[in-house]
Structure 1
Amino acid sequence: MEMIGRYVYAVTKRLPEAQRKDVADELSGLIEDMLEERVQGREITEEDVEGVLLELGHPRTLARKYRGSKKYVIGPELYDLYMLVLKIGLISAVSVFTIIFMIQVILNPMNILDYFVNFIVSFVTIIPTVIGWTTLGFALVEYFGAGKLEHIHLDKGWKPSSLAAVPDPKRQIKRSEPIAGIMFYVLIMVILAFSNDYFGIWIFQDGEFSGIVPFLNEESYGLFLLLILIVFGFGIVKECLKFMYEKWTFSLVGFTAIVNLISIALILFMITSVQFWNPYFMNELVQHGFVNGGSDDFETVRIIWEQSTFWILIFLMFGLVWDIVAGFMKVRKAK
């Protein structure tokens, strides 16, 4: 029966990957034996199934028994996701720093020793940061989400009819989607936090690198960095929730909408501020010989530069709104 499958799924999804198949087979057999003993040869009804599942108890409680003692900083229910997010974060950070180091060496090989020292120092700084914040975040989820609140709310008044259905393929979120999302957010965060000075127009003269005209105002950039990290941090939280929900629901769509609206507001505040962009951008292009002042090329670049804020905002808003609409459509299609 469907209710049995939902119960087995609700129990096994809280166990380490290696245990799930064996526990699913064992639990299915146990439920079948309990039903046979209960009905004594008559036809099995929904009431019989519900009675057996009530005897077994809340899926969280039963999963805890299969896991054994629950003295964890990060329990098995979250451990697989924790390790995955941690690996993604570390791989993304290491990849970005390695690429930046290679670009620096190619552009200016004479300073390779200085770049290598900065490369090592960056690792010493970012790796403990990624591990620490990821561990802290999941430890808080474990303590507040899977610990005290579980005993206060979830086990009381539980009924098998309240079990969530096994995820519908139409609503299910592919694991590759949040993985790609987390990698994207981590990459952008690392680049903007540690290598924002490379974010601009690269100038080459006579085939040699001569400098960068930055898009952003380096003098006031530090004031906006916290907001940038908050925006992309919200994005990482959103992708982690996709892992935990495993399917599109109205709750997930609602949270996505809230996060994206907050992100749009913060982005709008930043990119419309005159302090965010480099106020000397056009003058520096002229100084580096990229364009000649007063020429047609100068006017074309100036128009593009002045309209860039508008189009960046349009593209970002479209992407964030589409994220909400796509999730809502997937929920509706499965109805």
Structure 2
Amino acid sequence: MELIERYIYAVTKRVQTKQRDEIEQELRVLIDDLLFEKTGGIEPSAEEVEAVLNSLGDPREMAEKYTGKQSYLIGPAFYDTYLTILRIVLPIIVICVLAGTGIGLVFEPPLNIGKGIGEMIGSSFYAVFQGFSIITIVFAVNERYNGKTERKRKTWNINDLPQLPDGKSVIKKSEAIVSIVFHVLFLMLFTFIVDLIGIYSVEGQQVHITPVFNEGVIKGYLPLITLLFCVSIGKDCAKLVIGRWSPKLSLICVLLNIVWLIGAILIFSDVTVWNADLLNTYEIVKPATPVVLSRAFVSLITLSVLIDSVVTVIKGLKYKR
């Protein structure tokens, strides 16, 4: 029956992936035994199934019997996902920072080679630490928030069981993980090699870079930029936690979109954030002034956030149950 499947799903989604199959089998055997005792082998009614599931209690407490009732920085339900993201992100961060720093040293060779190599290694360690910290903090905040939300619920009712996700409403973990990876990488790009974000041109046998941003100004916004990337990663984590499109997820995503947009407008409305040489060399907008470029860019990101929010709301309402 669907109620049984929903109960098993509510328990197993709270445990580590490697334990889920075994725990699912144990639960099925336990529920079958309890139903047999209650009905004597006769097909159980919906009321009898509800009575058995109510006797088993809150799925969260049932999951804790398998995992142990402990306080986690990152709980069993998402520990595997957390490790997967770290295994993907950290090596890529090292490669990107080494490559980016190396390219920078090629364009501006250091007077001391040893010092240049030291900068590459130091930047890599700092980038790995920053990436690790951001991912860990976002997952830890998610764990704390969801734990508090569940603990606030005083009594459990059979109607609290989550719906079984269908194929269309399910959000693939791979999509959210890839998005988190790219957000972390772009943050590293802004933090360590923002001067490499630009327009490349070949002049004779030399490659010339015209940076998009005024490095001194954009680095002054790094705390806010870091916050915006954390907001984006938080949105991806919400998708991982909830796992399917719903009005609740849509509301969370739209609110985070609003926060992100406000921060982005604060940054890119500053006309000094753009590299003056960019407009002098390339006629990106007409008239080619920092004010026009800022307005055009802010309009573009506002439109993209608006479209994303509308699509998110439509998905949430479409799969409402």
Q: TM-score range by the shorter chain?
A: 0.7 to 0.9
Deviations, residues 127-178 of structure 1 (Å, cap 9, x unaligned): 22222343344344444533x6544x23x22111220111121111012221
| Aligned mates of 2:114, 2:286 — CA distance in 1 | 41
| Aligned mates of 1:122, 1:328 — CA distance in 2 | 40
Aligned counterpart in structure 1 of residue 255 of structure 2, from 239, 258, 262? 258
Cα 1:92–1:318, aligned 2, differ >3 Å: closer, same or farther? Answer: farther
Cα 1:142–1:230, aligned 2, differ >3 Å: closer, same or farther? Answer: closer
Q: Which residue of 2 aligns with 1:193?
A: 191
Aligned counterpart in structure 1 of residue 181 of structure 2, from 180, 183, 194? 183
Contact 2:221 2:267 in 1 (8 A): yes
Contact 1:235 1:259 in 2 (8 A): yes
Aligned counterpart in structure 1 of residue 306 of structure 2, from 321, 324, 327? 321
| Aligned mates of 1:2, 1:265 — CA distance in 2 | 43
Deviations, residues 6-30 of structure 1 (Å, cap 9, x unaligned): 0000101111111111111111121
Aligned counterpart in structure 2 of residue 159 of structure 1, from 157, 160, 170? 157
State the Cα distance separating 1:58 from its structure 2 match: 0.5
State the Cα distance separating 1:110 from its structure 2 match: 7.8
SS at 1:213 equivalent:
strand
Q: Which stretch shows the higher mean deviation, 98-107 or 81-90?
A: 98-107
Contact 1:185 1:235 in 2 (8 A): yes
Q: Which residue of 2 aligns with 1:242?
A: 239
| Aligned mates of 2:50, 2:256 — CA distance in 1 | 38
Aligned counterpart in structure 1 of residue 214 of structure 2, from 208, 214, 217? 217
Cα 1:215–1:43, aligned 2, differ >3 Å: closer, same or farther? Answer: closer
State the Cα distance separating 1:191 from its structure 2 match: 0.7
| Aligned mates of 1:160, 1:170 — CA distance in 2 | 25
| Aligned mates of 1:208, 1:66 — CA distance in 2 | 63
Alignment of 1:102-181 (within 5 A): 102-104=102-104, 107=107, 113-143=114-144, 145-146=146-147, 150-151=150-151, 153-154=152-153, 156-181=154-179
Cα 1:69–1:162, aligned 2, differ >3 Å: closer, same or farther? Answer: closer
Q: TM-score when scaled to structure 2?
A: 0.87
| Aligned mates of 2:134, 2:308 — CA distance in 1 | 26
State the Cα distance separating 1:248 from its structure 2 match: 0.8
**How many percent identity over aligned positions?**
32
Q: Which residue of 2 aligns with 1:205?
A: 203
Are residues 1:13 and 2:8 paired?
Answer: no
Q: Which has the larger radius of gyration?
A: 1
Q: Which stretch shows the higher mean deviation, 260-269 or 229-238?
A: 260-269
Cα 1:42–1:321, aligned 2, differ >3 Å: closer, same or farther? Answer: same
Q: Which residue of 2 aligns with 1:292?
A: none
State the Cα distance separating 1:79 from its structure 2 match: 1.1
Cα 1:108–1:193, aligned 2, differ >3 Å: closer, same or farther? Answer: closer
| Aligned mates of 2:86, 2:187 — CA distance in 1 | 15
Structure 2 unaligned spans of 5+ = none
| Aligned mates of 1:85, 1:108 — CA distance in 2 | 34
Q: Which residue of 1 aligns with 2:84?
A: 84
Contact 1:88 1:182 in 2 (8 A): no
Cα 1:68–1:227, aligned 2, differ >3 Å: closer, same or farther? Answer: closer
Cα 1:231–1:69, aligned 2, differ >3 Å: closer, same or farther? Answer: closer
Structure 1 unaligned spans of 5+ = 286-297
Cα 1:331–1:9, aligned 2, differ >3 Å: closer, same or farther? Answer: same
Are residues 1:26 and 2:26 paired?
Answer: yes
